[in-house]
Structure 1
Amino acid sequence: MFASTFQIDAAHSKIAFKVKHLAISNVYGSFTKYDANIEYDVNSKKLNALTANVDVNSVDTDNLKRDGHLKSADFFDTKQFPKIAFKLISTSDDEAIAELTIKGITKKVTFDYENNGVIKDPWGNTKLGVSLETKISRKEFGLTWNKVLETGSFVVGDKITINVDIEAKKNQLTKALAFVNYTKDK
């Protein structure tokens, strides 16, 4: 079994989240800077490895004041914890288990998982599609800031929905290594 490595296509990938605000609406945001190492076996159609680092300073909620607050010690404390880390542990047909590290706290998290497979784009590139979704308790990762409203509810909800959509391009080096391994075996 030979796994191919894939490079994130940032123009067609997204790491997004939503959280309740004032218990009546949602705030949506995303992280715009991240890198990942992906290994996928095209023959067995199995995602073998996915590790990612997210630059927390790239948080974007379409509100600079709120983004600044999220970067502060009240939330992510990006001066001390500039990265969020993700490391895939295992996948099944519709579930992925990963280690997620936020603010130095690492927990195993179960994601809904879609392996969208591979396809050739019109330019001959092999592309991979993967989607992940989960809900986490922000408090479990040290994101505890809040204020109580007169109704008894809170400014910021505890549950955060995380959506990750990845489109990745097969590395050309992988093709060269596959050829070398193939010719060595002959």
Structure 2
Amino acid sequence: MKFLKLSLASLVASSALFAGTYNVDASHSNVGFKVKHLMISNVNGKFDTFSGNFEYDEKTKTLKSLVGEAKVASINTEDAKRDAHLKSADFFDEANHPTLTFKLDKIDGDFAYGKLSIRGITKDVKLNFENNGEAIDPWGNKRVALELTGKINRKDFGLNWNKALEAGGVLVDETVKLNIEVEGILAK
């Protein structure tokens, strides 16, 4: 029994040697989304200010944890009037809910499960997960790139504003497509 405990402790310790904490490099990452407008075209947007970190096991090539947040004030759809409306109480209500957050629960195959919080409402989400690999940059820093994509229903998070169209349908679709591309740099 003692040998088994020592073996398990050794295994845990050796796997910790290969795990690293990575900080999100915002200049090489993107927190983006798109949503249908008038039921025919897409409006693309992103958050310009975001941060996060993740733990990655280099030996097993496994994402162990990930947390991130985006500032609502930094929403950018390339239209200042629309961005102001999105920050208002009709949508994100930046005055009362200045950040969006995501916390990974687990990776299972090609899927990431976690908790997404928008407008003070937290929901379990399932996103597509892709490990885009590792590289050493020209300055000797180890980097890892990850991608999370998927769909959420904005009404699940209290983003309910809309306008009905005369010909049927609505101005803004309920489904929002997420595209989160993260490049992390190993913390020193």
Fold shared, TM-score > 0.5 on shorter chain: yes
The runs of 5 or more residues in structure 2 that have no matched partner are 1-14
* Sequence identity (%): 46
Secondary structure in 1 matching 2:82: helix
CA RMSD of aligned residues (A): 0.8
The runs of 5 or more residues in structure 1 that have no matched partner are 173-186
Q: Distance in 1 between matches of 2:152 and 2:175?
A: 6
Paired residue total = 172
2:148, 2:181 within 8 Å by CA — same for their partners in 1? yes
Moved over 6 A (4+): none
Amino acid at match of 2:90: D
The corresponding residue for 2:46 is: 30
The corresponding residue for 1:58 is: 74
Q: Distance in 1 between matches of 2:48 and 2:64?
A: 25
The corresponding residue for 1:162 is: 178
The corresponding residue for 1:89 is: 105
The corresponding residue for 2:88 is: 72
2:112, 2:129 within 8 Å by CA — same for their partners in 1? yes
Q: Distance in 1 between matches of 2:153 and 2:66?
A: 22
Q: Distance in 1 between matches of 2:155 and 2:134?
A: 37
Q: Distance in 1 between matches of 2:139 and 2:46?
A: 29
Amino acid at match of 1:133: T
C-alpha deviation, 1:124, in angstroms: 1.4
Q: Distance in 2 between matches of 1:68 and 1:109?
A: 27
Q: Distance in 1 between matches of 2:167 and 2:151?
A: 25
Q: TM-score, normalised on structure 2? A: 0.89
Aligned mate of 1:129, from 136, 140, 145:
145
C-alpha deviation, 1:45, in angstroms: 0.9
